[in-house]
Amino acid sequence: MNESTIQPLTVLSEDEKMFYDSVRSFAEERIKPHSREMDEKSKMDPGIIKEFFEMGLMGIEVPEKYGGSETNFFMAILAVEALSYIDPAAAIIVDVQNTLVNNAFLRWGSDQIKEKYLPALASTKLASYALSEAGSGSDAFALKCRAVDKGDYWELNGQKLWITNAAEAEIFIVFANVDPEKGYHGITAFIVERDFDGFSIGKKEDKLGIRASSTCELILEGCRVPKENVLGEVGKGYKAAIETLNEGRIGIGAQMIGLAKGAFDATVKYVAEREQFGKPISQFQGVRFQLSEAATELEAARLLVYNAARLKDAGHKFIKEAAMAKFFASQVAQKITSLAIDLFGGYGFTKEYPVEKYFRDAKIGTIYEGTSNMQLITIAKQILI
Protein backbone atom coordinates (compact mmCIF):
# COMPACT_ATOMS: atom_id res chain seq x y z
CA MET A 1 0.00 0.00 0.00
CA ASN A 2 1.29 3.43 -0.89
CA GLU A 3 2.12 5.37 2.25
CA SER A 4 0.16 8.36 1.01
CA THR A 5 -3.07 6.35 1.06
CA ILE A 6 -2.78 5.47 4.76
CA GLN A 7 -4.93 7.69 6.96
CA PRO A 8 -4.76 7.89 10.76
CA LEU A 9 -7.86 6.92 12.72
CA THR A 10 -8.48 10.54 13.66
CA VAL A 11 -9.14 11.50 10.05
CA LEU A 12 -12.87 12.08 9.58
CA SER A 13 -14.87 11.57 6.45
CA GLU A 14 -16.17 14.70 4.76
CA ASP A 15 -19.65 14.15 6.21
CA GLU A 16 -18.25 13.56 9.70
CA LYS A 17 -16.09 16.67 9.54
CA MET A 18 -19.00 18.81 8.32
CA PHE A 19 -21.16 17.49 11.14
CA TYR A 20 -18.50 18.12 13.77
CA ASP A 21 -17.85 21.63 12.46
CA SER A 22 -21.56 22.48 12.43
CA VAL A 23 -21.99 21.37 16.05
CA ARG A 24 -18.85 23.26 17.12
CA SER A 25 -20.10 26.39 15.37
CA PHE A 26 -23.44 26.08 17.12
CA ALA A 27 -21.69 25.69 20.47
CA GLU A 28 -19.53 28.75 19.81
CA GLU A 29 -22.46 30.92 18.77
CA ARG A 30 -25.27 29.76 21.05
CA ILE A 31 -23.73 28.12 24.12
CA LYS A 32 -20.49 29.99 24.76
CA PRO A 33 -22.16 33.38 25.47
CA HIS A 34 -24.29 31.76 28.21
CA SER A 35 -21.86 29.18 29.57
CA ARG A 36 -20.57 31.17 32.53
CA GLU A 37 -24.02 32.33 33.61
CA MET A 38 -25.44 28.81 33.34
CA ASP A 39 -22.56 27.51 35.44
CA GLU A 40 -23.07 30.15 38.12
CA LYS A 41 -26.84 29.64 38.26
CA SER A 42 -26.61 25.84 37.95
CA LYS A 43 -29.26 25.91 35.27
CA MET A 44 -29.27 25.06 31.59
CA ASP A 45 -30.89 27.56 29.24
CA PRO A 46 -34.14 25.83 28.10
CA GLY A 47 -33.73 27.44 24.69
CA ILE A 48 -30.48 25.56 24.13
CA ILE A 49 -32.13 22.23 24.88
CA LYS A 50 -34.90 23.12 22.44
CA GLU A 51 -32.29 23.84 19.78
CA PHE A 52 -30.62 20.48 20.42
CA PHE A 53 -33.88 18.87 19.35
CA GLU A 54 -34.32 21.18 16.37
CA MET A 55 -30.81 20.31 15.14
CA GLY A 56 -31.52 16.59 15.34
CA LEU A 57 -28.92 16.06 18.07
CA MET A 58 -31.25 14.22 20.42
CA GLY A 59 -32.09 11.31 18.14
CA ILE A 60 -28.87 10.72 16.22
CA GLU A 61 -29.25 6.94 15.92
CA VAL A 62 -33.05 6.89 16.04
CA PRO A 63 -34.54 5.62 12.74
CA GLU A 64 -36.15 8.18 10.46
CA LYS A 65 -39.53 6.46 10.80
CA TYR A 66 -39.49 7.55 14.45
CA GLY A 67 -38.34 11.08 13.62
CA GLY A 68 -34.63 10.56 14.21
CA SER A 69 -31.53 11.28 12.14
CA GLU A 70 -30.75 7.57 11.60
CA THR A 71 -26.99 7.95 11.47
CA ASN A 72 -24.56 6.06 13.71
CA PHE A 73 -23.02 5.94 17.16
CA PHE A 74 -19.83 7.64 15.98
CA MET A 75 -21.80 10.73 15.00
CA ALA A 76 -23.21 10.91 18.53
CA ILE A 77 -19.67 10.75 19.87
CA LEU A 78 -18.60 13.58 17.57
CA ALA A 79 -21.51 15.72 18.78
CA VAL A 80 -20.54 15.18 22.43
CA GLU A 81 -16.91 16.02 21.70
CA ALA A 82 -17.79 19.17 19.76
CA LEU A 83 -20.15 20.48 22.44
CA SER A 84 -17.69 19.65 25.24
CA TYR A 85 -15.08 21.87 23.60
CA ILE A 86 -17.25 24.78 24.71
CA ASP A 87 -19.33 23.44 27.62
CA PRO A 88 -19.24 19.85 28.94
CA ALA A 89 -22.44 20.49 30.91
CA ALA A 90 -24.35 21.06 27.67
CA ALA A 91 -22.69 18.05 26.09
CA ILE A 92 -23.85 15.64 28.79
CA ILE A 93 -27.48 16.40 27.92
CA VAL A 94 -26.91 15.17 24.37
CA ASP A 95 -24.71 12.32 25.59
CA VAL A 96 -27.23 10.78 28.03
CA GLN A 97 -30.09 11.09 25.55
CA ASN A 98 -28.17 9.28 22.81
CA THR A 99 -25.65 6.87 24.31
CA LEU A 100 -27.77 5.74 27.26
CA VAL A 101 -31.50 6.34 26.81
CA ASN A 102 -32.03 6.05 23.06
CA ASN A 103 -29.64 3.13 22.84
CA ALA A 104 -31.55 1.32 25.57
CA PHE A 105 -34.89 1.91 23.82
CA LEU A 106 -33.52 0.81 20.46
CA ARG A 107 -31.98 -2.37 21.81
CA TRP A 108 -34.50 -3.44 24.44
CA GLY A 109 -37.77 -1.76 23.56
CA SER A 110 -40.68 -3.63 21.99
CA ASP A 111 -42.17 -2.26 18.78
CA GLN A 112 -44.98 -0.77 20.86
CA ILE A 113 -42.51 0.94 23.20
CA LYS A 114 -40.45 2.30 20.31
CA GLU A 115 -43.50 3.68 18.55
CA LYS A 116 -44.73 5.33 21.72
CA TYR A 117 -41.51 6.91 23.00
CA LEU A 118 -38.85 7.28 20.31
CA PRO A 119 -40.63 10.04 18.33
CA ALA A 120 -40.85 12.15 21.48
CA LEU A 121 -37.26 11.37 22.51
CA ALA A 122 -36.01 12.48 19.11
CA SER A 123 -38.06 15.67 18.91
CA THR A 124 -39.25 17.17 22.20
CA LYS A 125 -38.76 15.20 25.42
CA LEU A 126 -35.57 15.01 27.44
CA ALA A 127 -34.90 11.70 29.21
CA SER A 128 -32.87 10.43 32.12
CA TYR A 129 -31.23 7.16 33.14
CA ALA A 130 -31.81 6.22 36.78
CA LEU A 131 -29.59 3.43 38.09
CA SER A 132 -27.56 4.84 41.02
CA GLU A 133 -28.69 4.85 44.63
CA ALA A 134 -27.13 5.87 47.95
CA GLY A 135 -25.80 2.36 48.53
CA SER A 136 -25.25 1.31 44.94
CA GLY A 137 -22.65 3.38 43.16
CA SER A 138 -19.84 1.18 41.86
CA ASP A 139 -21.82 -1.78 43.24
CA ALA A 140 -24.57 -0.86 40.81
CA PHE A 141 -26.66 -3.95 41.44
CA ALA A 142 -27.06 -3.50 45.20
CA LEU A 143 -30.36 -1.79 44.48
CA LYS A 144 -32.87 -1.07 47.23
CA CYS A 145 -35.53 0.29 44.88
CA ARG A 146 -38.31 -2.32 44.70
CA ALA A 147 -40.98 -3.15 42.15
CA VAL A 148 -44.06 -5.14 43.13
CA ASP A 149 -46.48 -6.74 40.68
CA LYS A 150 -49.94 -5.40 41.48
CA GLY A 151 -51.73 -7.27 38.73
CA ASP A 152 -52.70 -4.37 36.48
CA TYR A 153 -49.54 -2.36 37.11
CA TRP A 154 -46.14 -2.34 38.79
CA GLU A 155 -45.65 -0.39 42.01
CA LEU A 156 -42.20 1.11 42.51
CA ASN A 157 -40.82 2.29 45.86
CA GLY A 158 -37.40 3.72 46.63
CA GLN A 159 -35.00 6.53 45.86
CA LYS A 160 -32.45 7.22 43.15
CA LEU A 161 -29.49 9.57 43.56
CA TRP A 162 -27.17 11.55 41.25
CA ILE A 163 -29.50 11.27 38.27
CA THR A 164 -28.30 13.40 35.35
CA ASN A 165 -30.80 15.64 33.51
CA ALA A 166 -33.48 14.81 36.09
CA ALA A 167 -34.71 18.37 36.64
CA GLU A 168 -35.67 18.79 32.99
CA ALA A 169 -36.42 15.19 31.96
CA GLU A 170 -39.92 13.95 31.21
CA ILE A 171 -39.07 10.27 30.64
CA PHE A 172 -36.96 8.11 32.94
CA ILE A 173 -35.49 4.63 32.69
CA VAL A 174 -35.66 3.44 36.30
CA PHE A 175 -34.03 0.23 37.52
CA ALA A 176 -35.71 -1.66 40.37
CA ASN A 177 -35.62 -5.18 41.76
CA VAL A 178 -38.77 -7.31 41.43
CA ASP A 179 -37.35 -10.21 43.49
CA PRO A 180 -34.49 -9.36 45.90
CA GLU A 181 -33.98 -13.05 46.71
CA LYS A 182 -32.75 -13.54 43.14
CA GLY A 183 -30.14 -10.80 43.54
CA TYR A 184 -29.28 -9.02 40.31
CA HIS A 185 -31.47 -11.50 38.39
CA GLY A 186 -34.46 -9.62 39.79
CA ILE A 187 -33.39 -6.24 38.43
CA THR A 188 -35.80 -4.85 35.83
CA ALA A 189 -35.83 -1.66 33.77
CA PHE A 190 -39.05 0.39 33.86
CA ILE A 191 -40.09 3.41 31.79
CA VAL A 192 -41.44 6.06 34.14
CA GLU A 193 -43.02 9.30 32.99
CA ARG A 194 -42.67 12.43 35.05
CA ASP A 195 -46.40 12.74 35.72
CA PHE A 196 -46.91 9.15 36.94
CA ASP A 197 -48.61 8.93 40.34
CA GLY A 198 -46.10 8.41 43.14
CA PHE A 199 -43.13 9.85 41.25
CA SER A 200 -41.37 13.10 42.14
CA ILE A 201 -38.06 14.92 41.79
CA GLY A 202 -36.17 15.47 45.03
CA LYS A 203 -33.06 17.41 45.97
CA LYS A 204 -30.97 18.99 43.24
CA GLU A 205 -27.25 18.61 43.94
CA ASP A 206 -24.95 21.63 44.22
CA LYS A 207 -21.95 20.34 42.29
CA LEU A 208 -18.28 21.12 41.75
CA GLY A 209 -18.44 20.91 37.96
CA ILE A 210 -20.81 20.53 34.98
CA ARG A 211 -23.08 22.68 37.13
CA ALA A 212 -25.54 23.64 34.40
CA SER A 213 -26.42 19.97 34.02
CA SER A 214 -28.98 19.03 36.66
CA THR A 215 -28.23 16.13 39.01
CA CYS A 216 -31.16 15.19 41.25
CA GLU A 217 -32.70 12.68 43.57
CA LEU A 218 -35.74 10.73 42.36
CA ILE A 219 -38.43 9.68 44.83
CA LEU A 220 -40.77 6.76 44.12
CA GLU A 221 -43.55 6.31 46.67
CA GLY A 222 -46.14 3.86 45.42
CA CYS A 223 -45.28 4.89 41.85
CA ARG A 224 -47.71 3.21 39.45
CA VAL A 225 -46.10 1.99 36.23
CA PRO A 226 -48.16 0.33 33.47
CA LYS A 227 -47.37 -3.31 32.80
CA GLU A 228 -46.34 -2.54 29.23
CA ASN A 229 -43.68 -0.09 30.46
CA VAL A 230 -41.13 -2.77 31.24
CA LEU A 231 -38.10 -2.12 29.03
CA GLY A 232 -36.88 -5.51 27.87
CA GLU A 233 -37.72 -8.52 30.01
CA VAL A 234 -38.57 -8.77 33.69
CA GLY A 235 -35.41 -9.79 35.55
CA LYS A 236 -33.11 -8.85 32.65
CA GLY A 237 -32.54 -5.25 33.61
CA TYR A 238 -29.01 -6.00 34.76
CA LYS A 239 -28.12 -7.02 31.22
CA ALA A 240 -29.64 -3.86 29.77
CA ALA A 241 -27.74 -1.74 32.29
CA ILE A 242 -24.37 -3.36 31.63
CA GLU A 243 -24.61 -3.22 27.86
CA THR A 244 -25.90 0.34 27.81
CA LEU A 245 -23.20 1.63 30.16
CA ASN A 246 -20.52 0.03 28.00
CA GLU A 247 -21.63 2.40 25.24
CA GLY A 248 -22.10 5.31 27.58
CA ARG A 249 -18.46 5.14 28.66
CA ILE A 250 -17.38 6.02 25.14
CA GLY A 251 -19.59 9.09 25.36
CA ILE A 252 -17.86 10.18 28.56
CA GLY A 253 -14.53 9.64 26.85
CA ALA A 254 -15.70 11.99 24.09
CA GLN A 255 -16.74 14.56 26.67
CA MET A 256 -13.30 14.40 28.25
CA ILE A 257 -11.32 14.80 25.01
CA GLY A 258 -13.60 17.66 23.97
CA LEU A 259 -13.08 19.65 27.14
CA ALA A 260 -9.36 18.80 27.23
CA LYS A 261 -8.99 20.16 23.70
CA GLY A 262 -10.87 23.31 24.70
CA ALA A 263 -8.53 23.89 27.64
CA PHE A 264 -5.47 23.02 25.56
CA ASP A 265 -6.32 25.43 22.74
CA ALA A 266 -7.03 28.24 25.21
CA THR A 267 -3.65 27.60 26.81
CA VAL A 268 -1.73 27.54 23.54
CA LYS A 269 -3.24 30.90 22.65
CA TYR A 270 -2.47 32.37 26.07
CA VAL A 271 1.18 31.29 26.30
CA ALA A 272 1.83 32.93 22.94
CA GLU A 273 0.54 36.22 24.36
CA ARG A 274 1.82 36.20 27.95
CA GLU A 275 5.32 37.65 28.26
CA GLN A 276 7.88 37.04 30.99
CA PHE A 277 11.55 38.10 30.94
CA GLY A 278 10.96 39.96 27.71
CA LYS A 279 9.46 37.20 25.57
CA PRO A 280 6.32 35.04 25.27
CA ILE A 281 6.40 32.11 27.68
CA SER A 282 5.70 29.83 24.69
CA GLN A 283 9.37 30.35 23.81
CA PHE A 284 10.58 28.65 26.98
CA GLN A 285 11.60 25.04 26.53
CA GLY A 286 9.93 24.00 29.80
CA VAL A 287 6.57 25.25 28.56
CA ARG A 288 7.05 23.71 25.14
CA PHE A 289 7.86 20.30 26.58
CA GLN A 290 4.77 20.32 28.78
CA LEU A 291 2.50 21.28 25.89
CA SER A 292 4.11 18.70 23.61
CA GLU A 293 3.46 15.95 26.13
CA ALA A 294 -0.11 17.15 26.62
CA ALA A 295 -0.75 17.21 22.86
CA THR A 296 0.58 13.67 22.51
CA GLU A 297 -1.58 12.31 25.32
CA LEU A 298 -4.65 14.11 23.99
CA GLU A 299 -4.13 12.56 20.57
CA ALA A 300 -3.75 9.12 22.14
CA ALA A 301 -6.98 9.62 24.11
CA ARG A 302 -8.82 10.66 20.96
CA LEU A 303 -7.58 7.55 19.16
CA LEU A 304 -8.89 5.36 21.98
CA VAL A 305 -12.31 7.04 21.98
CA TYR A 306 -12.70 6.99 18.20
CA ASN A 307 -11.53 3.40 17.97
CA ALA A 308 -14.04 2.23 20.59
CA ALA A 309 -16.85 4.05 18.77
CA ARG A 310 -15.84 2.63 15.40
CA LEU A 311 -15.73 -0.89 16.85
CA LYS A 312 -19.22 -0.45 18.28
CA ASP A 313 -20.60 0.70 14.94
CA ALA A 314 -18.90 -2.18 13.14
CA GLY A 315 -20.53 -4.72 15.44
CA HIS A 316 -17.26 -5.85 17.02
CA LYS A 317 -16.54 -6.38 20.72
CA PHE A 318 -15.65 -3.08 22.37
CA ILE A 319 -16.00 -3.57 26.15
CA LYS A 320 -12.26 -3.40 26.84
CA GLU A 321 -11.73 -0.55 24.40
CA ALA A 322 -14.62 1.46 25.90
CA ALA A 323 -13.19 1.06 29.41
CA MET A 324 -9.72 2.03 28.19
CA ALA A 325 -11.11 5.08 26.39
CA LYS A 326 -13.00 6.36 29.42
CA PHE A 327 -10.17 5.63 31.85
CA PHE A 328 -7.43 7.25 29.79
CA ALA A 329 -9.44 10.19 28.47
CA SER A 330 -10.55 11.15 31.98
CA GLN A 331 -6.96 10.98 33.25
CA VAL A 332 -5.73 13.10 30.34
CA ALA A 333 -8.51 15.65 30.83
CA GLN A 334 -7.55 16.17 34.46
CA LYS A 335 -3.85 16.48 33.58
CA ILE A 336 -4.36 18.96 30.74
CA THR A 337 -6.84 21.17 32.60
CA SER A 338 -4.49 21.29 35.59
CA LEU A 339 -1.60 22.24 33.30
CA ALA A 340 -3.77 24.93 31.76
CA ILE A 341 -4.27 26.58 35.14
CA ASP A 342 -0.54 26.35 35.88
CA LEU A 343 0.40 28.06 32.62
CA PHE A 344 -2.27 30.74 33.01
CA GLY A 345 -0.74 31.50 36.40
CA GLY A 346 -2.83 33.65 38.70
CA TYR A 347 -5.38 34.26 35.96
CA GLY A 348 -5.99 30.54 35.73
CA PHE A 349 -7.23 30.57 39.31
CA THR A 350 -9.89 33.15 38.52
CA LYS A 351 -13.16 32.99 36.64
CA GLU A 352 -12.00 35.62 34.15
CA TYR A 353 -10.66 32.84 31.91
CA PRO A 354 -12.36 29.54 31.03
CA VAL A 355 -9.68 27.13 32.23
CA GLU A 356 -10.85 26.97 35.84
CA LYS A 357 -14.24 25.76 34.63
CA TYR A 358 -12.66 23.13 32.42
CA PHE A 359 -10.66 22.01 35.47
CA ARG A 360 -13.80 21.66 37.59
CA ASP A 361 -15.75 19.97 34.81
CA ALA A 362 -13.01 17.42 34.18
CA LYS A 363 -13.17 15.83 37.64
CA ILE A 364 -16.46 14.04 37.05
CA GLY A 365 -14.89 11.98 34.27
CA THR A 366 -13.18 9.67 36.75
CA ILE A 367 -16.42 9.13 38.68
CA TYR A 368 -19.65 8.78 36.73
CA GLU A 369 -20.64 5.92 34.45
CA GLY A 370 -18.04 3.80 36.21
CA THR A 371 -15.13 5.07 38.31
CA SER A 372 -11.57 4.75 37.08
CA ASN A 373 -11.03 1.78 39.38
CA MET A 374 -14.06 0.04 37.87
CA GLN A 375 -12.66 0.64 34.39
CA LEU A 376 -9.39 -0.98 35.44
CA ILE A 377 -11.32 -3.97 36.80
CA THR A 378 -13.16 -4.27 33.48
CA ILE A 379 -9.93 -4.05 31.48
CA ALA A 380 -8.28 -6.67 33.67
CA LYS A 381 -11.19 -9.07 33.19
CA GLN A 382 -10.88 -8.72 29.42
CA ILE A 383 -7.11 -9.21 29.20
CA LEU A 384 -6.83 -11.96 31.80
CA ILE A 385 -9.58 -14.28 30.52
Q: How far is Cα of residue 31 from the mean position of the Cα atoms in its chain?
A: 17
pLDDT for residue 9: 56
Helix 372-383, helix 319-344: angle, nearest 10: 140
DSSP class per residue in 153-192: EEEEEEEEEEEETTTT-SEEEEEEES-GGGGGGGEEEEEE
CA distance linking residue 75 with residue 173, whole number of Å:
23
pLDDT for residue 10: 62
Contact, 164 vs 215, CB < 8 A? yes
Boundaries of every domain in the chain: 3-125, 128-235, 239-383
**Phi, psi for residue 350 in degrees, rounded to 5:** -110, 170
Domain 239-383 adopts which CATH fold?
Butyryl-CoA Dehydrogenase, subunit A; domain 3 (1.20.140)
Residues 6+ apart with CB under 8 A from 14: none
Residue-wise pLDDT for 137-181, tens only, equals 788 778 999 999 999 999 999 999 999 999 999 999 999 999 999
Contact, 83 vs 23, CB < 8 A? yes
Residue-wise pLDDT for 314-367, tens only, equals 999 999 999 999 999 999 999 999 999 999 999 999 999 999 999 999 999 999
Residues 6+ apart with CB under 8 A from 186: 177, 178, 179, 180, 235
Contact, 370 vs 249, CB < 8 A? yes
In angstroms, what CA-CA distances link 206 with 40, 136, 162, 289, 309?
11, 20, 11, 37, 32
- From 168, 217, 356, 369, active-site residue: 369
170 carries an active-site annotation: no
CATH number for the domain formed by residue range(s) 128-235: 2.40.110.10
Identical fold between 128-235 and 239-383: no
In angstroms, what CA-CA distances link 101 with 282, 286, 356?
44, 45, 31
CA distance linking residue 327 with residue 307, whole number of Å:
14
Residue type, 246: N
CATH class of 3-125: mainly alpha
CA distance linking residue 167 with residue 130, whole number of Å:
12
pLDDT for residue 141: 77
pLDDT for residue 140: 75
Q: How far is Cα of residue 170 from the mean position of the Cα atoms in its chain?
A: 18
Mark out the alpha helices in 274-368 (DSSP H runs).
285-314, 319-344, 355-362
**Residue numbers in the chain where pLDDT is lower than 50:** 1-7
